[in-house]
Structure 1
Amino acid sequence: MAGLLGRKWPAPVARPMWPFYVSGLVVLYGVNSVANAMSTSDEFKNDPRNPAVKNQAPNH
């Protein structure tokens, strides 16, 4: 397998990439927070496609 992939170089990967991992988690948390806030807003809280509304009877 080592001959197929070539020589293994001792290059650090995780240590120089940690700011990108942290910023990715911050962005995902922010997008999730905004999406949750938008789904509970007055405009969308009665939308039947809203996943936050569970087993709501249809309004006739």
Structure 2
Amino acid sequence: MPSLLGRKFPGMIARPMAPFYISGLVILYGVNSFANTLAATDEYKNDPRNPANKNQSAH
């Protein structure tokens, strides 16, 4: 019975893709840091939609 996924070919997956994984993590870290920085500015610090605001009132 043939496999549903087709024939298996031996080959490395993780090692050639490592630069893409690393760059993805760096970009996600940068976007997260930038979003946290923007959320801490004076304009958005007291916004009720800000997830960093701990004093949210119940709706």
TM-score scaled by length of structure 2: 0.82
> Where in structure 1 do 4 or more consecutive aligned residues deviate above 6 Å?
none
Q: How does 1:1-60 map to 2 (within 5 A)?
A: 3-4=2-3, 5-56=5-56
Partners in 1 of 2:6 and 2:56 — Cα distance? 59
SS state at 1:18 partner: helix
Tell me the distance in 2 between the aligned counterparts of 1:22 and 1:32: 15
TM-score, length basis structure 1: 0.81
Give 5+ residue unaligned stretches, structure 2: none
Q: Which runs of 5+ in 1 are unaligned?
A: none
What is the alpha-carbon distance in structure 2 between the residues aligned to residue 34 and residue 56 of structure 1? 22
Identity of aligned residues (%): 68
Structure 1 residue 6 displacement after superposition: 2.6
